[in-house]
Structure 1
Amino acid sequence: MAAKKLLLLLPAVLFLLEVDALGKRSIDLIAAHGLISDGRLPREVIPNRYKLEIQPFPNDGNFKGTVKINITWVERTDEITLHADPALEIVETLVTQFAPDDETEKLSSTPLPPTPVAVKEITKTPKKPLLVIKLDKEYGQGTQAQITLRFNGKLFNDTSEGLFRHFYIDSKTNEKKWYIASHLRPNLARRVFPCFDEPAYKVPFEISIARQRKMVALSNTPLKSTSNMDKNPSWVWDHFDETPPMSTFTVGIVVTDFASYIYNTSTEDALKCVLQVKVWGRPDYISSLEDAGKKIVKSMKILEDFWGTSYPFPKLDCLALPNYQATRPADNWGLILFKESELGSKTTWHIAQELVYQWLGAMATPFWWSDAHVNHALARYLTAYTTIQLLDGTENYNNWPITMLYSIYYEFSKRYPHGKSTAIKQDSASTKTELVFRMLNYTLGEPTFKHAMQKFMADRQFKTFFGDDIWSTFTEQARNDGVLDPSMSINEIAASWITKDRLPVVNVTRNYQDNTATIHQRVYLRERPHDVPDQEKFLWWIPIVMIRQDKLNFTNSTPTVWMKKERQITVTDLPKSNKFIIINPEEIGPFPVLYDNDNWNMLAQYLADNKVRTTIPVNTRAKLLHDAWNLAYAGDLCFGTALNMTLFLRYERDYIAWDPVFTMIDHIGRHIDSSEVHKKFQSYVRLLLTPLYEELGNEPQEGESDGRAHLRSSSKVFLCQAGYKPCIDEAQAAFRKWMESDNPDEGNPVANQYICPVFKWGTNEEWDFGLQRIIKFPATRKANERTYLLKTLAGCPIDAWKIEKLLNITVLEENGNFTDNDVYLIFSMLTGGASGYTTLFNFLEKNWDVIKVRFENKPHLWNSLITSATTVFKTQEGLDMVSELYLEKQGEFGTADFVIEKALKNIKEETKWSNENLPVIERWLDDYLKINDV
């Protein structure tokens, strides 16, 4: 009896052990989802298993069902609280006790027969998706019962959430055909059936789905049996195998008439497990999914090898759904729902990502949403890992990790990261954590990394975990493998990165007399002024991985030393004074590195030698270039030194190395476009990009890589912006066809890439034609086409008269064809270039009184105008203009008073930067243009 009792209580015991572990977490992870603040269910009663029956009626738009939940009391209570959406109609509620509590067992060793429990009251909590079942008395720890709930619900039509229906049109019969599917992540199971809708409650499910005979039903597990439905011969019940323990959000339900093809992996020698993969799609689309099954099988093999274990289910169904509207696929365990465009696309990362979630999310599940953050980061890292393995080195995956590195460098180097955007904060925090995993893979070594993850999965499969469990497993494995000092822990290392909304910059100053270097860490700040409070308190655990010119070896990523939250350390035994060093090659850790000028110059000279340039891998070449110009932009490095790092680009043809260049051209170009230096900079851009573009050719080549296509496109865009005549001629020729068309308002035949060059470098007639197209824009066309045209019409011109004419029409004349939103958009677009914001400032100054009256009752437009007209100046001339306006109109700014005061402070900082850097940039450009006979 005692053994039987222990088995009955096992789910409760495991759950309580995991709850107790909450207090042991050393890393308090940032919330990855708004659900972190969601109210938690009481823990007096927990589920042991579900038996779920669902009958959807697609034509009627509703469903009915029954759920039987076996539960255990872990604390004395007379209430059972579970989740149920307010829109879910509860038809019947029964509670049956089938195991006694501890007190009853002491009195009798004879098991009780199933006994009805009197339900005193059933209530729905106002404004909360909670169903409370009040019993006639309290029951003690160990009591087992079954709740039976019958319910009715509506199928969602307009969103792909909960249990929803969509249709497609059969091309042969022109018939509307419905399908039913479920998307329950993150907490939408409560919309479909009453349940304990929290990720920590992982228990088995036994699922049955009713369907019409001509349809097919799918769920998480293989079909076990089919039975006829009483009183309705056209319907049947499909009963599926019991699932392993799983969270409610991984429950999958589909009813459809799709076609499918099978890819049975038992025919693949490389795979030892027998896994049946089925790919489903509407009959018209199934041929487009020919390669999807192969990608799934190959991805699964990579992941099974990584985890060191077979996929736990004997089947996996992947469906391409027409009209599926969710932002991401529904990764139910054993049943994944994709958009048609995702499953049928040439890219592989959509598939890889959802297969990763079969392990990280379904098999091992975060205990609560606060831990979903680290789970999401690890899943993204493994998605990249899987995709790169699939591509087998033929193409880099979405320029990973360079592109996301650049984005978080920019975000975390702001004075106020994320602004007020929680979404940006969550995404950048997750990206940073993903990069921490990448850093650990390098510094601990891939064998240790994989073994740690395999141990983690072996320990946590079919269970839940906390974020700290992952870091603890890494620590244990790394110590066992002898790759981590016993005094260090991965928990502490990871925490130093995850808990800060900042990144470090590492300063390396070499002493060439004694072959040593001082390494100093501080907060990386790019946006001025660098007056972030408490920045001296920020310290990280930083791996110092070093490459020496005299011993070039990019395969060894073992740290020379760790900075253990130390402000400064000294390293010895460096190479001779004529040999460079590289710290943090391949961007192993997410931090830029600032060297002394001598080391930078040695790096620039080495890269400029085409015979040896490629001995430095392309990711490291890109890093050196990116670090140099960003640190110069931040005011930490001489711009002449940074621009020297671009000289090797005359030979460079790898798009990864060019990526930071295009950002540099954009950022620096915008900063200096109000000065005479800008014309010289545009000449430099043309000299830099013209040979590259001419070599790539104007038209794509058959079978060329995505990287080459990306490089051609980017170089063309920036050449056009810099006034490259062949580009402008091409754009004008395309635009002329539109101007000569019989009815130009029917549609825009010009590719978007051509419109801005025409409005910037083209004729007055061409710009006026664009203006008329906006004024006469038909209401029958898509509004976003008009928006794009207005953005380019306002944001691209460099001629002041064009901008002033647009402002006269929209602000002074109040042309009825332009809304307040249009005016707001125009103000915003004019901040993109010196011609725009300078003309806007002059327009405001000249028409102050009229505009003030016009915008008297439109504070959002007034504030937008003052912001756009005054905050973007970057030179002393601009500072003088804004200061004079401020003094002259003091007291008249109204709601925008704080805007101009802040603007003056920022312009002073930008003016200081311009005064320090523009002469340096100009001298370098003069020398460069002279050498190139320009």
Structure 2
Amino acid sequence: MLKISNLALCLWLAASSHCLPPDKVSAAHIIKTRSIDLNNAHGLAMETRLDRIVEPSGYKLEIEPYMEDGVFKGRVSINVTFLKDSDVILIHCGHDLEITKVDIFVPFFDGQRVEVKEVTLDAKKPIATLHLSAVVPKGTKGSLDFAFNGNMETSHTEGFFKATYMENEEEKALVATSFRPNNARRMFPCFDEPEYKVVFELSVVRPKNMLALSNVPVDKTDEIEGEPNAVWDHFELTPPMSTFTLGIVIGDLKQVNMSVFKDRLGNNIELRVWGRSEFVPALVGVMDKILVVYKHITQLMKSPLPVSRLDFVALPNYQGVKPVDNWGLIIFKESDLSSKGYLQLTQEILYQWLGSLATPAWWSDAHINKALVGYLAADIAFKVNGGSEMEGKWPMTVLYSLYYEFSKRYPHSRITGMKQETACTKIELLFRMFNYTLGGDTFKKGLQKFIESRKFQTFTGDDIWENLNTAARADGKIPQDMNIKDVVKSWIDKDRLPLIKAERKYDTNKLVITQKVFLRERPHDVPDAAKMSWPVPIIIAREDRLNFSHTVPSSWLKDKKELTIKSMPNKDQFIIVNPEEIGPFPVNYDQQNWILLSNYLQGKDRLKIPELTRAKLLHDAWNLAYAGDLSFATALNMTLFLKDERHHLVWDPVFTMIDHIGRHICSCIHGKFRAYVRILLTPLYQELIKNEREDEENWRKNLRSLTKTFLCQAGYKPCIKEAQEHYSKWMEAKNPDEGNPISNQYICPVFKWGTKKEWEFGLQRVINFPPSRKQSERTYLLKTLAGCPIDEYKINRLLNITILEGNGNFTETDLFLIFSMLTGSSQGYTTLFHFVNNNWDVLKEKFISKTNLWDNLITSATSQFTTEEGLELVSNLYVAHQGEFASAEHIIEKSMRNIREESKWSAENLPVIEKWLDAYLANSSVKDDLHM
């Protein structure tokens, strides 16, 4: 047995500041008390795993927290089995944890007792190596015993942490754990990997005036001799579980209420809600929500939750991004548990099955688990409250962002951290696709088979897909030559999505389905694009028998082969492929079918097409036109029904489209496009302001706000007048630099459409901005000064004063911000280009040595043009100053390449857009006299 003195160990670990204070080193069990988020799964996937020398089969853990000092000590005995002959054992141990004693107990070998000779700690990894006095044979069973000390975390609520809060004008303390994903090693030496699922026998010391909660109920409580203010709580044996699901809470908490839920299999579970005394009233209705959600989940899951109690704790001053989903003990921020929504609560209860009962084998599988929980939670939340919490936008909120990301030439190139998140989103949508295409009963059956087969164990994605496949095969829901695992692999392995082309042959009533990679950004020169294909479910809604509840595919498009479907409707009736966005892919049609769809949507029966599908048709058309796969005349015709459309889901993608196209077209047709936007949005806005209520839904408030913002940008006269009236109050203030007395919503319209005097007033407020005010207010003001105007005078004035005049009130950071904001409109970057061209020598001398600023200036001034005229401007600048660009040489060369591609798009589409706008404005029944 290796014994190490407390002082010697502190020196050995070079961590003397982490030792227990002298009065806490004794063996007495005393607590001195006062009166009182996917985690980085990608990084975790790369974490070094422990060598599989031994595996644990159970922990006996004792923890003594000293709350006043924020320290703790403890002991743990771990039952292990040797998996190979070895004289070393590797175990996780946080660098701040101090091992004061370690023993190994195994049978005698050659008449000698095996001891721990030495413990070494990896300087970079939280791993301790126990060096043994003899080689222990494979198959040997024994135990490892540790005594240890440590510090509670006080600056963050993770690991084993202490938090304080005020109640009744008194400071109180609590301690709790948040071990996900790999923080258990910071509290005790352990095998801190998900696959080691074993039982825990936990004991903790707590003050008598506090409560201790863990994963399971307290089995017994023992008095501590000589310590009248503290007791030992010994908890029942837990089910087999991973270290990160172990949980402890010690604090002055009150039970809000308790309910016993009996599931359909006759299993009883106590559901309890806890919070501090002052917060109890805010938690009164939480149990009703829990019961509703729990009922839905138990109807979904066949396997009962193998715990007798589930506690929901509203923890004061908990700062975690997401709740702590320990098995049987879920810790929430107070505001999260008391909130009105159902989604997060549903997610956390689902994690009891998908995360605790069945656990991802490694962090590389965590995103699949998160995706499944995310989909099921959204589905249940919709059933519970009609999706009002998400304003009905799911799955559009995640789907459309996925379309944009995967249609780029280089997905994730700008924000590499998005890769895991978008992969998770795609899998979530695949679960949704299978729920539709297999049918809800078959999907549920496959999910239940998966849970039953992996309970108390770990799983990989393959376990889910194989169980879904077995259920689908048994119910005849997939073709015999298909396997769900292969389907999923095809979708997951590519950071792309397919575009389906549905071309009807009206003379024979046939439909020909083909696929290709969906790309929006130009050029479409993605490597291997021609080789990419996906297994795609083909689901068709047809006008002659509209039925949006039938979601089983009539067939699957596999490999790269085209698919021909017979018996389509006659030529004057439309079809819709992939209604309700059942699969994550856009669909293009032949010209005639688009016309049929546009006409139907403008007719009296348009509401027979559900809002999600109406939104899809609109979104697909506009994005296909943007990508060059559809005429803009067709896409713009698809917006004609919006004059009668009032559902916010359908309007939601419209604002993104207006923004995308508004940024892309040249200034030559901006006036006509703004008039189109005003005519499009005015009836909706007038109706929204007419029926405004204080208690109205969030979606209505958001829709009104968006509509107003885009109308203001388009020069809607009532908006400009209102903004100027409010702005005048600031201009008339005695001390305008003391603060901005008006809402930010009024500033951009004034800077864009208002007078030079109004804009100059804003400029002076930036110049004279007092350091005592929040700098974020100055930043917002400068962003709008640069990004909102379309008047060349205002833009040149800003560039002159900040660059040529060298006004000392503007920093280099300000210049970066100005350049960036000017790229948002054709007037902005065109004026910036001419400014650079006209002041080349001065700017070169000023910035050539400041590489980042110079490169940013050249990028902003040259990269945004989209027409032949723009290409000529940039090319002339390049020729005139060839060899003078220094570090920005490659930037302007890249700009010319990109403009050359964009100019092809503009040459093809701008005449079409302008012609359509001319006809639309000429035939519009709405008189557009509401612009500046």
TM-score range relative to shorter protein: over 0.9
Q: Name the counterpart of 1:219.
A: 214
Q: Does 1:364 align with 2:361?
A: no
TM-score (norm: length of structure 1): 0.92
Q: Does 1:56 align with 2:65?
A: yes
Shift of 1:505: 0.1
Alignment partner for residue 534 of structure 2, among 532, 535, 540? 540
Q: Name the counterpart of 2:766.
A: 774
Stretch moving more, 851-860 or 773-782: 773-782
Shift of 1:533: 1.0
Give the aligned residue type for 1:500.
K
Stretch moving more, 406-415 or 809-818: 809-818
Q: Name the counterpart of 2:25.
A: none
Q: Name the counterpart of 1:570.
A: 564
Shift of 1:694: 0.8
Q: Name the counterpart of 1:487.
A: 481
Q: Name the counterpart of 2:552.
A: 558
Alignment partner for residue 873 of structure 2, among 881, 886, 892? 881
CA deviation profile, 1:565-589 (whole Å, cap 9, x unmatched): 2331211111111111111110011
Alignment partner for residue 127 of structure 1, among 124, 136, 151? 124
Q: Counterparts of 1:503-902 in structure 2 under 5 Å?
A: 503-609=497-603, 611-672=604-665, 674-697=666-689, 700-902=692-894
Give the aligned residue type for 1:353.
Q
**1: CA distance, partners of 2:280 / 2:846:** 59
**2: CA distance, partners of 1:744 / 1:333:** 56
Distance 1:784 1:288, change over 3 A: farther
Q: Counterparts of 1:229-248 in structure 2 under 5 Å?
A: 229-248=224-243
Shift of 1:398: 5.2
Stretch moving more, 76-85 or 273-282: 273-282
**1: CA distance, partners of 2:631 / 2:389:** 35
CA contact under 8 A between 1:46 and 1:201: conserved in structure 2? yes
Stretch moving more, 502-511 or 385-394: 385-394
Q: Does 1:315 align with 2:282?
A: no
- 1:320 partner SS: strand
**2: CA distance, partners of 1:818 / 1:744:** 19
Q: Name the counterpart of 2:7.
A: none
**1: CA distance, partners of 2:812 / 2:57:** 58
Q: Name the counterpart of 2:3.
A: none
CA deviation profile, 1:549-572 (whole Å, cap 9, x unmatched): 111111111111101223312111
Q: Does 1:201 align with 2:196?
A: yes
**2: CA distance, partners of 1:412 / 1:881:** 32
Distance 1:741 1:63, change over 3 A: farther
Q: Does 1:156 align with 2:153?
A: yes
Give the gaps of 5 or more residues in structure 2.
1-38
| Fraction of identical pairs, as percent | 54
Q: Counterparts of 1:344-493 in structure 2 under 5 Å?
A: 344-392=338-386, 399-493=393-487
Distance 1:426 1:229, change over 3 A: same
Distance 1:318 1:755, change over 3 A: farther
**2: CA distance, partners of 1:339 / 1:785:** 30
**2: CA distance, partners of 1:366 / 1:834:** 50
**2: CA distance, partners of 1:740 / 1:270:** 70
Distance 1:258 1:73, change over 3 A: same
Give the aligned residue type for 2:85.
R
Stretch moving more, 621-630 or 175-184: 175-184
Q: Does 1:81 align with 2:90?
A: yes
Q: Counterparts of 1:902-917 in structure 2 under 5 Å?
A: 902-917=894-909
Q: Name the counterpart of 2:14.
A: none
Shift of 1:368: 0.8
Stretch moving more, 660-669 or 214-223: 214-223
Q: Name the counterpart of 2:43.
A: 34
Distance 1:773 1:398, change over 3 A: farther
Q: Counterparts of 1:321-340 in structure 2 under 5 Å?
A: 321-340=315-334
**2: CA distance, partners of 1:282 / 1:798:** 55
CA contact under 8 A between 1:388 and 1:397: conserved in structure 2? no
CA contact under 8 A between 2:342 and 2:389: conserved in structure 1? no
Give the aligned residue type for 1:249.
F
**1: CA distance, partners of 2:470 / 2:80:** 36
- 1:441 partner SS: helix
CA contact under 8 A between 1:265 and 1:297: conserved in structure 2? no
**2: CA distance, partners of 1:741 / 1:51:** 70
CA contact under 8 A between 2:516 and 2:530: conserved in structure 1? yes
Give the aligned residue type for 2:850.
K
Distance 1:176 1:475, change over 3 A: same
Q: Name the counterpart of 1:249.
A: 244
Shift of 1:127: 0.8
Shift of 1:439: 0.5
Distance 1:771 1:289, change over 3 A: farther
Distance 1:754 1:276, change over 3 A: farther
**1: CA distance, partners of 2:270 / 2:777:** 46
Q: Name the counterpart of 1:96.
A: 105
Distance 1:564 1:300, change over 3 A: same
Shift of 1:477: 0.6
Q: Does 1:261 align with 2:256?
A: yes
Distance 1:458 1:828, change over 3 A: same
- 1:895 partner SS: helix
Q: Does 1:187 align with 2:179?
A: no
Shift of 1:272: 5.4
CA deviation profile, 1:220-253 (whole Å, cap 9, x unmatched): 1112222222333222222222111111111111
CA contact under 8 A between 2:162 and 2:174: conserved in structure 1? yes
TM-score (norm: length of structure 2): 0.92
CA contact under 8 A between 1:879 and 1:911: conserved in structure 2? yes
- 2:599 partner SS: helix
- 2:203 partner SS: strand
CA deviation profile, 1:771-799 (whole Å, cap 9, x unmatched): 23333333333333332222222211112
CA contact under 8 A between 1:545 and 1:557: conserved in structure 2? yes
**1: CA distance, partners of 2:504 / 2:718:** 47
Give the gaps of 5 or more residues in structure 1.
1-29, 105-111
Distance 1:269 1:728, change over 3 A: farther
- 2:514 partner SS: strand
Distance 1:97 1:781, change over 3 A: farther
Give the aligned residue type for 2:600.
Y
Stretch moving more, 473-482 or 856-865: 856-865
CA contact under 8 A between 2:391 and 2:698: conserved in structure 1? no
Give the aligned residue type for 2:503.
T
Distance 1:89 1:724, change over 3 A: same
CA contact under 8 A between 2:392 and 2:649: conserved in structure 1? no
Shift of 1:464: 0.3
Distance 1:96 1:748, change over 3 A: farther
Shift of 1:700: 4.1
CA contact under 8 A between 2:100 and 2:146: conserved in structure 1? yes
Shift of 1:382: 1.1
Stretch moving more, 39-48 or 784-793: 784-793
CA deviation profile, 1:383-422 (whole Å, cap 9, x unmatched): 1112112214666555100121110000000000010533
Q: Name the counterpart of 1:176.
A: 171
**1: CA distance, partners of 2:638 / 2:130:** 70
Give the aligned residue type for 1:69.
I
CA contact under 8 A between 1:78 and 1:138: conserved in structure 2? yes
**1: CA distance, partners of 2:420 / 2:501:** 29
Give the aligned residue type for 1:561.
S
CA contact under 8 A between 1:224 and 1:240: conserved in structure 2? yes
- 1:263 partner SS: strand
Q: Name the counterpart of 1:72.
A: 81
Stretch moving more, 307-316 or 378-387: 307-316
Shift of 1:59: 2.4
